[in-house]
Structure formats: C-alpha cells, structure tokens
Amino acid sequence: MSGVLDSKNLNGGQRLAVKYFSVAVVLFLAQVVFGMVAALQYVMPDLFYDVLDFNVNRMVHINAMVVWLLYGFIGAVYWLVEDEAGHEVVGLPLGNIAFYVLTAAVTVVVAVYLLVQTGPGEMQTIWLINEGREYIEAPRWADIGIVVVMLVFFFNISATFMKGRWSGISGVLVLDLVALAAIYLCGMFFTANVSVDQYWWWWVIHLWVEATWEVLVGCIMAWGLIKTLGARRKIVTTWLYIEVALMFGSGILGLGHHYFWIGTPEYWLSIGGFFSALEPIPLVAMVVHAVYDAGVHKFKSANHPALAWLIAHAFGNFFGAGVWGFMHTLPQINLYTHGTQWSASHGHLAFFGAYATINIAFFYLALQKWRGDVWMASGLAGNGWRWKWALGLLHLGVVGMTVALLIAGYEQSFIERAIGGSSWQAFFEAQMHPWFVMAMQWRVLFGVITVAGVLLLVWDLLTIGARETRRAEFVTEAVSS
C-alpha cells in the first residue's frame, strides 16, 4: 500500500541504507545542538564553564558532522548498489553487524567525549579518550574499529558489483572508496613534530573533502539525476569522467593551500596557490551538468524535495567550496585570513552546501520508496509546505551564519593581522571589536533559524507522503532526448 512505511518496499541494501540514514539524522540534530552551545559560549563565555567547555562542544559539533555525513554516504551507496549492480548485496548479514558495531562504537566515543573529556598527554589518552586531531578526534581503538567496518563495507560493495554488473558509475565509485579509506590511515599515527603531524593530517581532511568525497558525491549525484529526472546514463557518465579528472587534477596538489604556514618548504606557496585556484572549475562543471539535466527534462520529477536538494547541492558546492574557498586560497590573501572566522565561514557553507544537501536529497529518495513509491511532487497531500520551509530555513540559517562569520573574518584580518601585525594584543583587540562581537550575536540568531530548519526537516522526514495515496509515475531512464 502506498503511503505506509514498509520495509517490504525496499531491497536488502536499501533496508540497511535506511538504518544508516536514521542514525545520520539523529547525529545531524546532535551536531546543531552542540554547535548552538558553542556559539552561545562566544557571547556568554561563562556558560557551562568547567562543565562542558567550548573545546568539547566544538569537537562534538564537528565530529558529529563528519560521522553523520559518512553515515549518509554509506547509506546512499547501499541504497543504489543492488539497483546499479543488478544483484543482491553480497554478505549483507555481515554489513548489518558492521552497522551495529559502528553505531555502538560511535555512542561510546561520544559518551567518553562528554563524560571524560580530556586526559593527560600520554598514549593512554590517545588510545582511549581522543587523539586530538581536529575532525577525526576519535581515539585509536575506534580508529581501528572504523577501518574494520569500512573493510566490510568495501567488501559488500565491490563483491556485489563483481557478482553483478559494472557500470561507469560503479567503477569510479569503487576506486574512489579505495582512495577514501586509504587516506584515513594517514590520520592514525602519532608524531611529536607538529609540522609533520599536520602535514599528514591534511591528507585526510583536505583529500577527503576536496578530492575523494567530491568524487563520491559525483557518483551519487549521477545516479540521483538518473533516478529523479530520468537523465540519460551516457551523458551523466561522460560528465562524471570529466568532473573526476578535473577534481583530482586540481584537488590533489591543491592540498598545498594548507602547507603555506605550517613549516613546510616554500615551494608549496606556488603549488598550493596555483592548483587550489583551479579547484572551482570542476564545481562549475557540476552546476552546469545538473542544470543542463534538469532543463532537458523540464524539471519533471516525481520527487520534488529530492530534486530541490540535489539542485541545492550543485549550487551549494559551487558557492561554499568554489567561491568561498577561492576567496582565501591565494597565499597573498591567506597570509591575513588564515585561521580567522573566515575559515569557519567557508567551512560552514562548504560542508552544508556540498555534503549536507546531497544527503538530505537521498533521505527523501529513500522515504519515497520506503512508503511504496508514493507521489512526492506537486499537490502533496496535507504537508507540502513543510519540506519547502525546511529547505528555506536551513538555507537562510546557514547562509546567515556564513555572512556573519565572513564579517568577523574580515574584521580579524584587518585589525588583528594587517594593522596589529598578528600580535597577542592585536588578537584580543580584534576579539573585542564591536564588529566581531555583533557578528557572534548574529551567528546565534541564524543558528537558531538553522536549528528550526533541522527540526522541521526531521518532522517532515517522519511524515512526508504519509497521507498520500497516489503513486509516483516513475520517470524511467530516457532512451532518447
């Protein structure tokens, strides 16, 4: 029956996918709650002092983000694998066990973050509490667990394609998963030299978000465009190859934009400046591609929320990563902006625009099928306003925070760096400047709007299509157009 959540509507991979998606949504909610507390601590420094300090909230905020996005990606791959391979997931029971093991591990890690928080500078802390590397703070036991779970995931996916059939999309996807997993290893060992440590740490952070994750979302997007719009596979695959070539071509050496000031040789100034300045090009290609497909198919889709979030991804990726990244990527500029709120401005718009959006699109695709291929386009029974408001509030909130942080970043670059010469005293002058203080207050306001958007999104995800009885007339892959 359409309109009712029923796991019989899903294939094996998809049943596992919706588990990943469910945890992802919970972690997204946790992300914004802890972000909110951290933002409030900027304007009320005494808040939760010595109970839940800023560093802990910040860590939970960004770790929850990385983990929910990864859950979403894993879910999306399990979602499409059977369809793409024409074969049932190989080793699904193992995949299910891996899911529960991973989720239990994440729960323990977060509990330790919140209850134990910090430890002495010893190996025991690295093994049991946290490793102290931003974004991937998880303690070493969890690192190893994550690697094992990823190996299971990789086995499930590649074995399924091997037993079934390969396609352009799946070929790129599997090779990319190898790279993505391999570079995680670079963030797992400890060196006492901070420059060396940072050098390798960026291999994970930069080569994830500016190379392997981009390629992964390229694959997911390609499949999404075929499914939501009936775009032609041949065209989508050709675009994918071009985008991947450009992405790796610029993204790999673009790594150099993090090597300007950490004690690495000076040639990185030119290499990093040049290649990272090219990084927006594939992102333009991705926008053109998405808009082209949507135009050719006259935006005809039986799943409007998913299509809207896919388009939001194309633009969010371009502005957040491409434009906001480009703004501070030349060493001449980065000298002044490095490590200011400018970086946080870019970080918010990029992670939200490029990665939160496409995951949300997949949540909607999943719900549609889970409810028995229910109609999710115009004239949605009863609650069609909700997804639009969630989309609007989330964008207003995140873009508002981005602008507030950019103003703070400008102010810091001028007052602390250009005028004050980066002295300790100049740092505090910049922190107390009215522009900075006001920007932090605006961020709280837009943060509240973001939280409202997330809450509405969750409500919508729980209810959309529930009272709908019409079935989607599915767009089929166009044979000619």
Which amino acid belongs to residue 57? N
Q: How far is the CB of 107 from Fe ion (least distance, A)?
A: 30
- Tell whether residue 346 is a contact of Fe ion (CB under 5 A): no
- Cβ burial of 1 (10 Å; 0-12, 13-18, 19+) is exposed
Structure-derived torsion over alpha carbons of residues 246, 247, 251, 253, reported in degrees to the nearest 10 = -30
Stretch near Fe ion under the rule CB under 5 A, chosen from 208-216, 364-372, 406-414, 470-478:
208-216
Reference 22, options 89, 93, 123, 99; nearest CA is 99
Q: Which does 65 bind (CB under 5 to 8 A by kind): Fe ion, ligand HEM, none?
A: ligand HEM
How far apart CA 38 and CA 384 sit, in angstroms, is 33
Q: Which does 231 bind (CB under 5 to 8 A by kind): Fe ion, ligand HEM, none?
A: none
Stretch near Fe ion under the rule CB under 5 A, chosen from 204-212, 227-235, 407-415, 453-461:
204-212
Looking at beta carbons, which residue is closest to ligand HEM?
325
Q: Which does 338 bind (CB under 5 to 8 A by kind): ligand HEM, Fe ion, none?
A: ligand HEM
Q: Which is nearer to ligand HEM, 75 or 372 (CB)?
A: 75
Q: Exactly one of 15, 133, 206, 289 binds Fe ion (CB under 5 A); which one?
A: 206
Q: Which is nearer to ligand HEM, 155 or 442 (CB)?
A: 442
Cα distances from 303 to residues 229, 276, 375, 381, in angstroms, run 9, 36, 7, 13
Stretch near Fe ion under the rule CB under 5 A, chosen from 93-101, 198-206, 226-234, 417-425:
198-206
Per DSSP, the chain holds a count of helices (H) and strands (E) of 19, 0
Query: Could you please report the per-residue DSSP string of 231-291?
Result: --HHHHHHHHHHHHHHHHHHHHHHGGGGSSSSS--THHHHHHHHHHHHTHHHHHHHHHHHH
Q: How far is the CB of 31 from Fe ion (least distance, A)?
A: 21
Q: Which does 19 bind (CB under 5 to 8 A by kind): Fe ion, ligand HEM, none?
A: none
Site of tokens 């352009």: 168
Reference 53, options 64, 66, 42; nearest CA is 42
Q: Where do contacts with ligand HEM occur on this chain (CB under 6 A)?
A: 32, 35-36, 38-39, 58, 61-62, 65, 134, 209-210, 257-258, 276, 279-280, 317, 321-322, 325-326, 328-329, 334, 338-339, 343-344, 346-348, 350-352, 354, 356, 398, 447, 450-451
Using CB under 5 A as the criterion, which residues of the chain lie in contact with Fe ion when the complex forms? 206, 210
